[in-house]
Amino acid sequence: MRIAGTVQDSIVDGAGLRFVVFTQGCPHGCDGCHNPETHDFAGGIEREVASVVAEMLANPLTDGVTLSGGEPFAQARDCAEIAAAAKSNGLNVWVYSGWTFEELLEQSRGDTDTRRLLGLADVLVDGRFELPLRSLDLKFRGSRNQRILDVPASLAANVAVIREK
Ligand code: SF4
Protein backbone atom coordinates (compact mmCIF):
# COMPACT_ATOMS: atom_id res chain seq x y z
CA MET A 1 0.00 0.00 0.00
CA ARG A 2 1.06 3.61 -0.35
CA ILE A 3 1.19 5.71 2.80
CA ALA A 4 2.31 9.22 3.65
CA GLY A 5 3.44 8.10 7.09
CA THR A 6 2.51 6.71 10.48
CA VAL A 7 2.29 8.26 13.94
CA GLN A 8 2.42 6.53 17.33
CA ASP A 9 0.76 7.83 20.49
CA SER A 10 -1.59 10.35 18.88
CA ILE A 11 -4.31 11.88 21.08
CA VAL A 12 -5.75 14.17 18.38
CA ASP A 13 -6.93 11.63 15.77
CA GLY A 14 -9.66 9.95 17.81
CA ALA A 15 -10.37 8.88 21.39
CA GLY A 16 -7.56 7.47 23.50
CA LEU A 17 -4.01 6.71 22.50
CA ARG A 18 -3.86 5.94 18.81
CA PHE A 19 -1.65 4.58 16.08
CA VAL A 20 -2.36 6.61 12.94
CA VAL A 21 -1.83 5.56 9.35
CA PHE A 22 -1.89 8.45 6.89
CA THR A 23 -2.68 6.83 3.55
CA GLN A 24 -1.26 8.35 0.38
CA GLY A 25 -3.55 9.58 -2.38
CA CYS A 26 -6.73 11.63 -2.18
CA PRO A 27 -9.24 12.50 -4.91
CA HIS A 28 -11.19 15.14 -2.98
CA GLY A 29 -9.05 18.29 -3.40
CA CYS A 30 -10.61 20.15 -0.48
CA ASP A 31 -9.79 23.85 -0.45
CA GLY A 32 -7.54 24.55 2.56
CA CYS A 33 -6.50 20.91 3.09
CA HIS A 34 -3.83 20.62 5.78
CA ASN A 35 -2.15 17.62 4.15
CA PRO A 36 -1.73 18.51 0.43
CA GLU A 37 1.37 16.31 0.25
CA THR A 38 -0.94 13.29 0.66
CA HIS A 39 -2.96 13.98 -2.53
CA ASP A 40 -0.64 12.45 -5.16
CA PHE A 41 -1.46 8.74 -5.60
CA ALA A 42 2.12 8.17 -6.77
CA GLY A 43 3.66 10.02 -3.80
CA GLY A 44 4.52 8.86 -0.31
CA ILE A 45 6.16 5.51 0.28
CA GLU A 46 5.25 1.90 -0.45
CA ARG A 47 4.80 -0.26 2.68
CA GLU A 48 3.80 -3.86 3.13
CA VAL A 49 0.55 -4.11 5.08
CA ALA A 50 2.20 -6.66 7.40
CA SER A 51 4.89 -4.15 8.30
CA VAL A 52 2.30 -1.47 9.12
CA VAL A 53 0.39 -4.00 11.25
CA ALA A 54 3.57 -4.98 13.11
CA GLU A 55 4.25 -1.32 13.85
CA MET A 56 0.65 -0.90 15.07
CA LEU A 57 0.93 -3.85 17.45
CA ALA A 58 4.37 -2.87 18.78
CA ASN A 59 2.96 -0.46 21.35
CA PRO A 60 0.98 -2.28 24.07
CA LEU A 61 -0.52 1.00 25.31
CA THR A 62 -2.34 1.74 22.04
CA ASP A 63 -6.16 1.88 22.27
CA GLY A 64 -6.85 1.83 18.57
CA VAL A 65 -5.85 2.56 15.02
CA THR A 66 -6.90 5.59 13.00
CA LEU A 67 -6.90 5.31 9.23
CA SER A 68 -6.57 8.83 7.87
CA GLY A 69 -5.31 10.41 4.72
CA GLY A 70 -5.22 11.00 2.04
CA GLU A 71 -8.33 8.94 1.49
CA PRO A 72 -8.31 5.53 3.24
CA PHE A 73 -11.21 4.23 1.16
CA ALA A 74 -9.11 4.72 -1.99
CA GLN A 75 -7.05 1.80 -0.59
CA ALA A 76 -9.93 0.02 1.06
CA ARG A 77 -8.54 -3.49 0.63
CA ASP A 78 -5.25 -2.75 2.43
CA CYS A 79 -6.91 -0.56 5.04
CA ALA A 80 -9.42 -3.34 5.74
CA GLU A 81 -6.49 -5.72 6.39
CA ILE A 82 -5.08 -3.29 8.95
CA ALA A 83 -8.53 -2.81 10.49
CA ALA A 84 -9.09 -6.57 10.71
CA ALA A 85 -5.72 -7.05 12.43
CA ALA A 86 -6.58 -4.23 14.84
CA LYS A 87 -9.95 -5.75 15.76
CA SER A 88 -8.53 -9.22 16.27
CA ASN A 89 -5.97 -7.72 18.66
CA GLY A 90 -8.51 -5.81 20.73
CA LEU A 91 -7.96 -2.40 19.15
CA ASN A 92 -10.75 -0.12 17.99
CA VAL A 93 -10.85 1.39 14.51
CA TRP A 94 -11.50 4.99 13.50
CA VAL A 95 -11.56 5.94 9.82
CA TYR A 96 -11.49 9.43 8.30
CA SER A 97 -12.97 9.84 4.83
CA GLY A 98 -13.73 12.72 2.50
CA TRP A 99 -16.76 10.73 1.40
CA THR A 100 -19.89 10.85 3.53
CA PHE A 101 -21.37 7.77 5.16
CA GLU A 102 -24.19 7.86 2.61
CA GLU A 103 -21.71 7.96 -0.29
CA LEU A 104 -19.68 5.11 1.20
CA LEU A 105 -22.82 3.07 1.75
CA GLU A 106 -23.67 3.54 -1.92
CA GLN A 107 -20.10 2.64 -2.99
CA SER A 108 -20.11 -0.40 -0.74
CA ARG A 109 -22.99 -1.95 -2.69
CA GLY A 110 -20.67 -2.53 -5.64
CA ASP A 111 -17.36 -2.84 -3.87
CA THR A 112 -16.60 -5.59 -1.35
CA ASP A 113 -13.44 -3.86 -0.05
CA THR A 114 -15.36 -0.70 0.81
CA ARG A 115 -18.05 -2.82 2.43
CA ARG A 116 -15.47 -4.73 4.47
CA LEU A 117 -13.65 -1.61 5.68
CA LEU A 118 -16.92 0.09 6.59
CA GLY A 119 -17.98 -3.05 8.43
CA LEU A 120 -14.76 -3.11 10.47
CA ALA A 121 -14.88 0.58 11.45
CA ASP A 122 -16.11 1.56 14.91
CA VAL A 123 -16.11 5.26 14.11
CA LEU A 124 -16.20 7.18 10.83
CA VAL A 125 -15.35 10.88 10.65
CA ASP A 126 -16.95 11.69 7.33
CA GLY A 127 -17.15 14.38 4.70
CA ARG A 128 -14.82 16.75 2.92
CA PHE A 129 -13.03 19.52 4.75
CA GLU A 130 -15.06 22.68 4.09
CA LEU A 131 -12.93 25.77 4.68
CA PRO A 132 -15.87 28.16 5.37
CA LEU A 133 -17.07 25.73 8.05
CA ARG A 134 -13.67 25.33 9.70
CA SER A 135 -13.52 25.69 13.47
CA LEU A 136 -10.61 25.20 15.83
CA ASP A 137 -13.07 24.32 18.60
CA LEU A 138 -14.09 21.02 17.02
CA LYS A 139 -12.67 17.87 18.56
CA PHE A 140 -11.34 15.24 16.12
CA ARG A 141 -12.66 17.06 13.02
CA GLY A 142 -11.78 20.12 11.02
CA SER A 143 -15.05 21.60 9.78
CA ARG A 144 -18.59 21.65 11.12
CA ASN A 145 -20.08 19.61 8.25
CA GLN A 146 -17.98 16.60 9.23
CA ARG A 147 -19.66 14.08 11.54
CA ILE A 148 -18.29 11.60 14.06
CA LEU A 149 -20.41 8.53 13.42
CA ASP A 150 -21.06 5.30 15.27
CA VAL A 151 -20.58 2.95 12.31
CA PRO A 152 -22.12 -0.28 13.69
CA ALA A 153 -25.23 1.70 14.75
CA SER A 154 -25.30 3.50 11.39
CA LEU A 155 -25.07 0.27 9.43
CA ALA A 156 -27.75 -1.35 11.58
CA ALA A 157 -30.09 1.61 11.09
CA ASN A 158 -29.07 2.21 7.46
CA VAL A 159 -28.77 5.89 8.34
CA ALA A 160 -25.94 7.98 9.82
CA VAL A 161 -25.92 7.83 13.63
CA ILE A 162 -23.81 10.39 15.50
CA ARG A 163 -21.44 8.83 18.04
CA GLU A 164 -22.41 9.64 21.60
CA LYS A 165 -19.64 11.19 23.65
S1 SF4 B 1 -10.28 14.60 2.09
FE2 SF4 B 1 -8.77 15.18 3.64
S3 SF4 B 1 -6.76 14.77 2.69
FE4 SF4 B 1 -8.29 14.80 1.05
S5 SF4 B 1 -8.24 16.90 0.25
FE6 SF4 B 1 -9.90 16.78 1.78
S7 SF4 B 1 -8.94 17.43 3.72
FE8 SF4 B 1 -7.28 16.92 2.29
**Distance (Å) from CA 106 to ligand 1 centroid:** 20
Determine the Cα–Cα distance for residues 13 and 22; give it in Å rounded to an integer. Answer: 11
- For 2-157, the fitting CATH number among 1.20.1250.20, 3.40.1160.10, 3.40.50.300, 3.20.20.70 is 3.20.20.70
Q: How far is CA 10 from the centre of its chain?
A: 14
- Ligand 1: atom nearest CA of 27 is 4
With a 6 Å cutoff on the Cβ, whether 126 touches ligand 1 is: no
Compute the Cα dihedral for 98, 79, 68, 86 and give only its sign.
positive
**Distance (Å) from CA 60 to ligand 1 centroid:** 30
Residue 33, pLDDT score: 96
Determine the Cα–Cα distance for residues 164 and 29; give it in Å rounded to an integer. Answer: 30
Residue 129, pLDDT score: 97
- Helix-helix angle 49-57:76-88, to 10 degrees: 30
Q: Count CB neighbours of 147 within 10 A.
A: 17
H helical segments located in the chain: 49-57, 76-88, 101-108, 112-120, 151-157
Determine the Cα–Cα distance for residues 31 and 9; give it in Å rounded to an integer. Answer: 28
**Distance (Å) from CA 152 to ligand 1 centroid:** 24
Residues in the chain: 165
Predicted TM-score of the model (pTM): 0.97
Domain boundary assignment for the chain: 2-157
**Distance (Å) from CA 98 to ligand 1 centroid:** 6
What would the DSSP string read from start to end of 64-77?
EEEEESS-GGGGHH
Determine the Cα–Cα distance for residues 107 and 114; give it in Å rounded to an integer. Answer: 7
Express each pLDDT in 86-107 by its tens digit: 999 999 999 999 999 999 999 9
**Distance (Å) from CA 74 to ligand 1 centroid:** 12
Residue 82 pLDDT exceeds 80:
yes
With a 6 Å cutoff on the Cβ, whether 125 touches ligand 1 is: no
Express each pLDDT in 60-74 by its tens digit: 999 999 999 999 999
Q: At 112, is the pLDDT very low, low, confident or very high (cuts 50, 70, 90)? A: very high
Determine the Cα–Cα distance for residues 82 and 92; give it in Å rounded to an integer. Answer: 11
Express each pLDDT in 134-158 by its tens digit: 999 999 999 999 999 999 999 999 9
Q: Mean per-residue pLDDT for 108-129?
A: 98
Q: Which residues pair with 20 in a beta bridge?
A: 7, 66
With a 6 Å cutoff on the Cβ, whether 143 touches ligand 1 is: no
Residue 118, pLDDT score: 98
Nearest alpha carbon, ligand 1 atom 3: 70
- Ligand 1: atom nearest CA of 97 is 1
